[in-house]
Each structure stands twice: as C-alpha cells, then as structure tokens.
C-alpha cells in the first residue's frame, strides 16, 4: 500500500467542513428544545441503522477489513447506510482507515492522539483540503471498492442520501423530526466514531501488546456497537468479533451472528482471547 499520503495536508482551515459541522451542532442543540418521543425514536432507530449497520458492520468490519461476506445487495445497503452518517463515502472512509492501520500512532497516521487528543478527535478533519470527493486519489487505497460503479457513485455523491433523508423527515414530522433524525443523530454518531480515534488510543486496558497505543474502552464500546474494544481489533484487524471475552459487549457481533445463523453472512473471521484467528465457514 502506498504511503505518500496526500490526504494528510494540514495547511489552512477546511471552511466548508467547519461550516457544515457548525450547522449540525447548532441543530443538535436546537433539537433539545423541540423534543417529542416520535422524533426521538426515529433518531435512535437511524443511529442504529447508520452508525451500527453503516459504520460498524459496513464501512469498518466489511468494507475495510473484509472480515465476513454477505450478498452484494446487503453490502451495498450497508454502504448506503454509511453515507447517512456524513462521514464521507465508502472509498474515502475505507482508505483513511486502512492508512490508519498501516501507520497507527506513527508518522503518517491521519488521527493519532500522539499529536494531541483534539487533533485525533476532530482536528484532522478541520484542517487541510477535504478529500471526501477525491475518489481517484482515495481509490489507490481502496482498489477493491473502486472496481464497483456503485461505490464510485456513492463516494462522489455521498451527500445526496442524507439530503434526501432530511427532506423526507421534514415532510413526515416537520422541524423536530429533521433536527432529531439528522442533526442530533449525526452529531452523536460523529462524536462516537471520533472517540474511537481519540479515546481508545488514550484510555483503557491493553490485552495485546500491539505496536500502537490502542486500548479496550468499555464506554466507547457501548455507544459504538462494539468498536471500543479497539486493542482487540488492532491485534486482530480482520476479526469480525471485537469483543473477544464473554463480558465484552459487542452488538455488531451479535447482529452478525444472527446473519450467520440465517445463512446470510459467510466466511466470518473470528479471533479469540488466546490470539488465534479462525475462519468459521468455508469461503
């Protein structure tokens, strides 16, 4: 994999990104003054669908690490859900995360806390030129996704699904539904995902002696569908199961077990606390 990483440009403020994030955060605060249970329930459901299925099961465990297989239509659906988090398209997200694993907490890591907790959490997004729509560049680090026209389109127009969702929610439930289903839900999902970049490289226990600072953090795991068991993940990147001990709650793994039970998920890679990685099914 290449390491002359043009996405690590840190010169100047990324004003479009800052403006969008500012609007979302203002909307998230405004949602607290427009509360109703229907809008809140929709936000919770969308949080599970977008952050749980889209990011944890989709962008991360499936698209980046290929830790299991599902039918193409479901893989595409997970990718679509990922765009609804406003974390960029699948090619961009996968490329950044693969670079992170290659250079984790070393020079070239896009978001290491060794350069500051704020930098790891959000600073790396606010500085430099955004590469969200530079599909050609990011495809160098995600060539497997770039072979699919669907992923190329989704990466180029990753902002279209969330705009369509915003219009639908406003039509169905007015301003409260828009503020909760988009602003509050997206902001919560962004910070939860960013905590995996920052908090789980600073606070928590280390089961495995990895070459980076990754740690297992239970409270991050609770809000990210199991992504907080980060030291486990860095020790076994291709394992679909992140919570390796019985008490390490990993909702994404439980969902995947259900998909495997019904024969939808196959070739599931699973690691154990004894450091072994096995393929539970034949490819």
pLDDT tens for 217-261 read 999 999 999 999 999 999 999 999 999 999 999 999 999 999 999
The CA-CA-CA angle for residues 121, 256, 85, to 5°, reads 35
Q: How high is the pLDDT of residue 218?
A: 98
| 10-residue mean pLDDT series, the chain (283 residues) | 50 88 98 97 98 98 98 98 97 96 95 96 85 82 96 96 98 98 98 98 97 98 98 98 97 98 97 69 41
Q: What is the SS3 assignment for 266?
A: strand
CA-to-CA distance for 52 and 252, rounded, in angstroms?
7
Q: How high is the pLDDT of residue 137?
A: 87
Domain range list for the chain: 9-204
Based on the number of CB atoms within 10 Å of its own CB, is 39 exposed (0-12), middle (13-18) or buried (19 or more)?
Answer: buried
Looking at the whole model, is its pTM more than 0.75?
Answer: yes
Q: How high is the pLDDT of residue 283?
A: 33
Q: How high is the pLDDT of residue 2?
A: 42
Three-state helix/strand/coil letters over 177-192: HHHHHHHHHHHHHHHH
Q: How high is the pLDDT of residue 278?
A: 57
Q: How high is the pLDDT of residue 11?
A: 65
């Amino acid at each position: 994999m290449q390491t002359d990483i043009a996405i690590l440009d840190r010169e100047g403020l990324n004003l479009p990104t800052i403006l969008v994030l500012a609007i979302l955060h203002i909307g998230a605060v405004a949602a607290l003054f427009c509360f109703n249970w229907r809008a809140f329930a929709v936000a919770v459901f969308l949080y599970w669908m977008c952050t749980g299925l889209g990011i944890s099961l989709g962008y991360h465990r499936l698209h980046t690490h290929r830790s299991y297989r599902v039918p193409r239509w479901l893989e595409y659906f997970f990718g679509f859900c990922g765009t609804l988090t406003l974390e960029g398209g699948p090619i961009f997200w996968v490329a950044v995360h693969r670079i992170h694993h290659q250079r984790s907490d070393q020079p070239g890591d896009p978001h290491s806390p060794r350069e500051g907790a704020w930098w790891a959490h959000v600073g790396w997004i606010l500085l430099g030129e955004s590469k969200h729509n530079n599909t050609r560049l990011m495809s160098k680090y995600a060539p497997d996704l770039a072979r699919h026209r669907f992923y190329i389109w989704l990466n180029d127009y990753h902002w279209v699904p969330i705009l369509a969702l915003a219009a639908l929610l406003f039509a169905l439930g007015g301003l409260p539904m828009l503020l909760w289903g988009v602003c509050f839900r997206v902001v919560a999902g962004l910070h939860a995902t960013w905590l995996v970049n920052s908090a789980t490289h600073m606070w928590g226990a280390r089961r495995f002696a990895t070459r980076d600072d990754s740690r297992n953090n239970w409270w991050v795991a609770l809000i990210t569908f199991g992504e907080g068991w980060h030291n486990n993940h860095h020790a076994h990147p291709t394992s679909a199961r992140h919570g390796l001990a019985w008490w390490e709650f990993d909702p994404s793994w439980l969902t995947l077990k259900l998909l495997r039970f019904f024969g939808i998920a196959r070739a599931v890679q699973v690691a154990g606390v004894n450091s072994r990685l096995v393929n539970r099914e034949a490819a």
